Amino acid sequence: MKETDLILSKLPYQKPFLFVDELLQIDENEAKGTFTFDEKLDFYKGHFKDNPITPGVILIETMAQIGLVCLGIYLTLNEDVSQIAFSSSEVEFLKPVFPNEKVTVFSEKVYFRFGKLKCKVRMMNSKKEEVCSGTLSGIIIK
Q: Is 108 exposed, middle or buried (0-12, 13-18, 19+ CB in 10 A)?
A: middle
**Residue 130: C-alpha distances to residues 44, 54, 115 (Å):** 21, 15, 30
pTM of this prediction? 0.95
Range of the domain at 109: 3-141
Query: Distance between CA 26 and CA 107 in Å, rounded?
Result: 9
Which pLDDT tens digit goes with each residue over 11-30?
999 999 999 999 999 999 99
Sign of CA dihedral 34, 40, 41, 46: positive
Which pLDDT tens digit goes with each residue over 81-136?
668 889 999 999 999 999 999 999 999 999 999 999 999 999 999 999 999 999 99
* 76 pLDDT above the threshold of 80: yes
47 is catalytic: yes
CATH number, position 101: 3.10.129.10
Query: Distance between CA 75 and CA 31 in Å, rounded?
Result: 11
> Catalytic pick from 47, 102, 118, 120?
47
First to last CA, the chain: 24
Tally of domains within the chain? 1
Residue, of 78 and 35, whose pLDDT is higher: 35
**Residue 8: C-alpha distances to residues 3, 65, 84, 86 (Å):** 9, 10, 14, 17
CA angle 123/109/130 to nearest 5° reads 15
